[in-house]
Chain A
Amino acid sequence: MSAPPRTPILQLIDVRKTYATGHLEVEALAGVSLDVSEGDYVAVMGPSGSGKSTLMHILGCLDSPTSGLYRLAGTDVSTMSEAELAEVRNRRIGFVFQQFNLLPSLAAWRNVELPLIYAGIPRAQRRKLAFASLERVGLADRVEHRPGELSGGQQQRVAVARALVTDPALILADEPTGNLDSRSTEDVLALLSELHDAGRTIVLITHEAEVAAAAARTVRIRDGLVDTGELTGRAVSSG
């Protein structure tokens, strides 16, 4: 898996994110620099509260850094208009939230089709794509269930199906297997490997070594900083 270095599709340069809650300031990211090249498969690990989700939100254009530079496919994200950002989120990124963020009033397939609505895809085709995506995560028999009628693991898989439904070039997943048993975890990992092989770029957060092992490399985060001693996932698992 030692592909020649390609143009970084994601490039973070000294990114900081400070949260101000009342008079208390929390520096969630304290100067992160990171390159992810096209077709890369990166696992992000780190203790709870180390800033992993914060990093992921910035990568997904859901939040903006307090300072530093974020280039997405060479473009400085801070110069993008709202409409451009909406298009990037819609067409290029598939995001799996740590808290799923499903709309409780909509059936599983209606949640999955949401990104397709904003992509302007006709209804019949949306339905077909959403059903196919749910089938890929093993929920073909749960398409009409609402999130409240699904288990935590099933909800998580709906969230994964929604991230994959637009077939995005970049998949950002915040603990996509956090609620899954080993069987479902394997299924999701197989799915991600398949996408990786098809040339998609994947960044996922995990606490589990075996999940990180599936990735091409692992980035460790501690107290808002990238641990300098970078190790590749394969090296860890084989070592």
Chain B
Amino acid sequence: MLETFRTAGEAIRSHRMRSILTMLGILIGIAAVILTVGLGKGAQQQVRDEINKLGSNLLIVSPGSTTTSGIRGGRGSASTLTMSDAVTLSNAAVAPDIKQVAPVASSSLSVVAGNTNWTTNVVGTTVDWLTVRARNVAQGRFITQDDVDQGRQVMVIGSTVSSELFGQRSPVGQTVTVSGNTFSIIGVLDTIGSSTTADEDDQAVIPQTSYASRISTSANRSSITTMYIEATSQSSLSAAYQEATNALTTSHGVTATNRDFSISSQQSLLTTATSTDQTLTVLLAGVAGISLLVGGLGVMNIMLVSVTERIREIGLRKALGATPSAIRRQFLVEASSLGLSGGILGLTLGIVGAVVLPHFLSQPVLISPFAAAGAVAVALVIGIVAGVYPASRAARLAPIDALRSE
């Protein structure tokens, strides 16, 4: 047995170029599968993260176009949604499946700090906004119920606003002016990047009461632009949707045909995401399959050629007393050591690629152990079968026929 390993090792070393090519074929096949699957998985994860950024179990109530409200969302026109709607929906008796409501009134305004100014989305809301939108505070603190009750002129800013106005300096404790009103910065939100709808880091959050009294230009100062509703759980999302629709329809005195609001849920986004996910999965399986097929065919080719080249050698070894099983063993050891080293190198390259690639692509690469194991297994099996099958066929020939083969 030791002898078989020595013979195989020699054959591999003495045909260096061919051995390198064989290993390269396996290596590239495996690395390609790991990286394509990894890139796809990364993209999938990205889509999922994007959706989670919007907050979990989220319903979004927007003012609807009504026959009376004029241009929707237009500055100065009254929105059909008001703070009282938020109060209504917060009532557990009315909507038991709604956990929290975050009313939001917002407009794009210039925020001035010293001689720097930055136009951002100024958001008036309540304390629940933070949890409903699944955000965190990176520095300082978020607005409190007390801030809202007292109508304090405090502000929590996003990281983009912070760097635009204060650069590297800590913004907490600084003051800014918005529409002539001074606000103290009490906190900075965590950085989450852009969602599908907006740059979530480019906003400034103030208490809803301060917004209504200082900022709002609306005819009805308690009007709001959006309400974010968090359902008690993922499964109660549709119940919450139903409760919110019914409660608002009743309180606005409208009917199902002329509702002056609309509620969108993550459901629609999730459906899109799920189908994107499925498309990606199918695409991935396809790409991985093709990589494996190409890699496998490459390995098979080189193995077949290498064995065909060596039929004379097989004939000679038989003439000198090798049994067919000794020949088979030699080629089995050769093919599997080539396959194993190619496999290990391919795995290494794939993993290194998965670590390095994200730095250049701004795309995460997730290694799927299943795809990696599958790729190695398939390459090994193909390599071994393609290496051993023709050898064992040649080993059944009369030695002289093998010796005379081209």
Find B15's partner among A57, A95, A97, A105 (CB 8 Å cutoff).
A105
CB-CB contacts below 8 Å: A26-82 with B? 57, 60, 62-64, 82
Which A residues touch B400, using CB under 8 A?
57, 62-63
**A103–B315 CA distance with the chains assembled, in angstroms:** 11
CB-CB contacts below 8 Å: B292-344 with A? 312-313, 316-324, 326
Closest B residue by C-beta to A104? B14
Is A144 engaged at the interface, CB distance under 8 Å to the other chain? Answer: no
Q: How many CB-defined contacts (below 8 Å) exist between A and B?
A: 63
Is A207 engaged at the interface, CB distance under 8 Å to the other chain? Answer: no
**A86–B317 CA distance with the chains assembled, in angstroms:** 10
Contact B320 A89 (CB under 8 A): yes
Is A209 engaged at the interface, CB distance under 8 Å to the other chain? Answer: no
Find A114's partner among B11, B320, B399 (CB 8 Å cutoff).
B320
Interface size on B, residues (CB 8 A): 24
Contact B319 A60 (CB under 8 A): yes
Contact B323 A83 (CB under 8 A): yes
CB-CB contacts below 8 Å: A91-121 with B? 91, 95, 97, 101, 103, 105-106, 114-115, 117-119
**A106–B319 CA distance with the chains assembled, in angstroms:** 17
Which A residues touch B318, using CB under 8 A?
86, 89
Which A residues touch B146, using CB under 8 A?
none
Q: How far is the CB of A26 from chain B (nearest CB, A)?
A: 14
Is A90 engaged at the interface, CB distance under 8 Å to the other chain? Answer: yes
**A126–B94 CA distance with the chains assembled, in angstroms:** 95
Find B321's partner among A64, A105, A118 (CB 8 Å cutoff).
A118
Contact A115 B316 (CB under 8 A): no
CB-CB contacts below 8 Å: A201-215 with B? none
Given A101-B316, A101-B403 in contact, is the A118-B322 Cβ separation under 8 Å? yes
Given A101-B316, A103-B313 in contact, is the A87-B403 Cβ separation under 8 Å? no
**A39–B129 CA distance with the chains assembled, in angstroms:** 106
CB-CB contacts below 8 Å: B1-31 with A? 3, 7, 10-11, 14-15
Contact A62 B321 (CB under 8 A): no
Contact B323 A86 (CB under 8 A): yes
Which B residues touch A95, using CB under 8 A?
319
Which B residues touch A162, using CB under 8 A?
320
Which B residues touch A91, using CB under 8 A?
321
Closest B residue by C-beta to A92? B321
Which A residues touch B403, using CB under 8 A?
62, 97, 101
Contact B321 A63 (CB under 8 A): no
Question: A: which residues have CB within 8 A of B?
Answer: 57, 60, 62-64, 82-83, 86-87, 89-91, 95, 97, 101, 103, 105-106, 114-115, 117-119, 123, 162
Given A63-B398, A105-B10, A118-B326; 19 other pairs, CB 8 A cutoff: A60-B319, A62-B319, A63-B399, A63-B401, A64-B398, A83-B323, A86-B318, A86-B322, A86-B326, A89-B318, A95-B319, A97-B319, A97-B403, A101-B312, A103-B313, A105-B11, A117-B7, A118-B317, A119-B321
